[in-house]
Structure 1
């Protein structure tokens, strides 16, 4: 039996959004939220009975806001809004992305500021729970009055028009898919079309995915950097606790601590380090990992705060305030908050790949590494990691273009009514592309770093890094001579993206209380472990 996440419009986390996208949970709307929704709908009906004029309820939209629509045409008004605004282009969102998109809209509607009816909200929930997912093209939003085109495509499918996907049917006519699942197409009353399409849920849904994948990539990058560090026989002196206390950025302290726990220490020995000549200092891409990776952690924390607020925000226009008996036009639909945050996320997470590519260069270049050129024997006959590094360089170069902020742009739309827009949809899509490239570059570094460590055999690295190497080797064979490399990169990328590298590393860096001291959980009660900084 499938479990439920109960939505109330206030407490949905970014992790839960990801789980809803994976289809792990169904949705219920809590009773208090349904009461708020019903009260807001009652106010809409009351205003109509009183003959009051309100934007989007009995007027046109955008430039047509001053055109009052006759009562008998109000349903047509809402249906026309959905059809005309379903003007997106491009490939459809993947099913997991549509599930997140729908879940976020349901959460916003549950706040009770949209004016939707309980019936239509429940139909929305029923479609989600039946895995009936409308066709939503990825392009066509400027993040002005929210993600109007993508949200319209979603609503169109629920109306039984356009295309829809389900596991049983694949892509099919929406009405047919709804019928197969015993679902009735929604019938829009006054304001209900507008209630379904004002908001930043596409930006936020894709942004949450970029955020959570960035989090895994950043955590994994520390283990990969540690593996490269071992392959290059670096010195751990740069990660001394007092150095980082002197510049106490939270992310920097966290990364330095993780490196101390993964690399050679009295409690976690590395034969490679014990048999290496001591160095005064290493290159920046080894020595400055805490400083550079650290700001990525702090960036992720900043973006998570913004997106968590956005996930649980009312983004409609007009806003319905049943307790005040008022309907007020505002600008909560504007996508600037998530747009700016996602531009920042792309810039931050890219630096992981920037550092990673430089470490790959050090691993494959014998002038730096004291290892075989391109990490292969019989060089010349074999090219080893030569072209894999070229691929990493190409991905990093693409990221440098993708990291140009989109949210600094604005093109006036809707005949001058929407005269400043966020371009948040593109901010979110390119942030996802940047993260994808980071994952791929890290995969190339991890393959290279494992080869480098193996060149030091029979010497072993630390226990956690040996376990990471063993996981890689369970998927990708060693490299005694050239072979088809692309599948190896793809498989290791999956290990990174699915959090499997992080899962191995995590127990070694989590803290437990042992006789009043903070230690790493892998010390198994050893009281002589390093005292950690929170």
Structure 2
């Protein structure tokens, strides 16, 4: 796949293809022309000698310091070096690649006043699979993701570090040399244009939106497993019951659950049983209300990300009429709010799933399933500690759901006196989603075990697909085994598309 950066930018699909795949990147001729036109305006300002922020002045609290023409290239390099001040472990390859493509996108819009060679230098890193070493700490989401983007910019200057194929870091100059690439020298305005924007926050939000969309479908799958295994009812998921409370996400999740539970002899076995509970517990009956609210929150975050994807977050901006104006568009509040809302929603999807797991394992509430889903309780503990793990992760997600975007603190001599913390919000959102994957993996194991223990009754087609996928690495219920490898395999089953594809081939697409 070849992603072509147009003057209008790139799409979400482009970002995912470059971040998570091997797509090559190129810059359209019209994009090159737009950047060249913008650069000509900056060159004119240089000739006129006008004081313009970022072109002939210092930065932040030093905005009123005039820089002599002969030192302006030095200023841009000094800016990159001083701002590459991150600390901590390196960010994942997919985040850094998304961030670099989005910075190219921003430059391509033709409002940043940079030469096309600057954007091409970042493209060269992507196409040669050179990933800058970007430490996890350093961005406050004010003036954008300054430190993370500076660490990327260091490499095109032939400096800084990159992430080696073995996970260790190597010198940026060595990586460029090995790829046959040459460092570039920056001109006025270009250093600032390389680091002033929301690309890191936006990249992580786009990746998270993609991940959460899949996890919500899998949350419906694992909820259906639990409901079926606990002899629950599908009656609360009838479409007419959700049409009278028409939240779109709720109706979608209820429709998924209703279809997932059809064709089950387990469900049929108690459909007319008068001793069966009239109402299931909230964690079963209200599954679409919680997952549906999360879906609606995801739709909001998707809209925010889509708007940001066509936005210019640089500062200052070079307007076509020759003006260079300072803006506040780099402030990450829209992305920070969206990420915090998503973290809250994802934490609750995990919390209700863990409550279903707890019911499945509790002999007093699981409707005749053996304690902890082991055929021989006492000698064997079954899934007892797997539930502990899920509970511990739920507790961590509750802490991570505390919003980062309300935690502003001033920097840069009070010039940047309110910051978004958008980088922190999007980064911790990814942790919450990774944790949610583990919680759903535990529910997958518990739900499948419950269905196996209902034999000879036959599960729904979806249930049968789940049993077949999980039994491949767990086998039939029996004596306790080493659980950690099974947990890892279940996480992969949740995170990857194979099981969902198998289910959808039988019952149709899950929304």
Match of 1:271 in 2: 265
Q: What SS does the corresponding residue of 1:366 show, helix, strand or coil?
A: coil
For 1:484-517, what per-residue CA distance to the aligned partner results, in whole angstroms no more than 9, with x for missing partners? 1111111111111123332223345547xxxxxx
1:107-506 matched pairs, under 5 angstroms = 107-165=105-163, 167=165, 171-264=169-262, 269-276=263-270, 277=273, 278-321=276-319, 323-369=320-366, 370-506=368-504
Partner of 1:531: none
Maintained 8 Å contact 2:410/2:419: yes
Shift of 1:121: 1.3
Q: Is the 8 A contact 1:261 1:508 kept in 2?
A: no
Normalising by structure 2, report the TM-score. 0.96
Q: Distance in 2 between matches of 1:338 and 1:492?
A: 31
Cα distance between partner residues in 2 of 1:423 and 1:10: 27
Question: Contact (CA 8 Å) 2:76, 2:190: kept in 1 or not?
Answer: yes
Give the conservation status (yes or no) of the 8 Å contact 1:220–1:501: no
For 2:32, the equivalent position in structure 1 comes to: 34
Deviation at residue 334 of structure 1 after TM alignment: 0.5
Whole-angstrom CA distance in 1 between matches of 2:452 and 2:290 = 27
Cα pair distance change 1:168/1:49, threshold 3 Å: farther
Question: How many angstroms apart in 2 are the aligned matches of 1:508 and 1:307?
Answer: 33
Q: Which runs of 5+ in 2 are unaligned?
A: none
What is the CA–CA distance in structure 2 between the aligned matches of 1:380 and 1:170, rounded to whole Å? Answer: 47
Counterpart in 2 of 1:65? 63
Deviations 1:202-250 (A, max 9, x none): 1111222222111111110101100111100111111111111101110
Deviation at 1:476, TM superposition (A): 3.2
What secondary structure is seen at the aligned counterpart in 2 of 1:415?
coil
Aligned-pair RMSD on alpha carbons? 1.6
3-state secondary structure, aligned to 2:280:
coil
In 2: Cα distance, 1:298 partner to 1:28 partner: 35
> Are 1:9 and 1:111, in contact at CA under 8 Å, matched by a contact in 2?
yes
Distance 2:421 2:185 in 1: 31
**What secondary structure is seen at the aligned counterpart in 2 of 1:91?**
strand
In structure 2, the partner of 1:5 is 3
- Give, in angstroms, the shift of residue 163 of structure 1: 1.0
> Secondary structure of 1:367's match?
coil
User: 2: distance between equivalents of 1:89 and 1:509?
Assistant: 48
**Distance (whole Å) between structure 1 residues aligned to residue 99 and residue 379 of structure 2:** 51
* Residue 12 of structure 1: how far off its partner (Å): 2.8
Give the C-alpha shift of residue 169 in structure 1.
Answer: 9.7
TM-score (norm 1): 0.92
Number of residues of Structure 1 aligned to a counterpart in Structure 2: 506
Equivalent position of 1:15 in the other structure: 13
User: Counterpart of 1:410 in 2: which secondary structure?
Assistant: coil
Distance 2:402 2:428 in 1: 10
Q: Deviations over 1:381-408 (max 9, x none)?
A: 1111111111111000111111011101
CA distance in 2 between partners of 1:465 and 1:456 (Å)? 12
1:40-88 alpha-carbon deviations (Å, 9 max, x no partner): 0010001101111110111000111011101000110000000001111
Q: Which moved more, 1:486-495 or 1:5-14?
A: 5-14
| CA-CA distance at 1:94 after TM superposition | 1.7
Q: Which residue of 2 aligns with 1:46?
A: 44
Task: Provide the secondary structure at the position in 2 that maps to 1:176.
Answer: helix
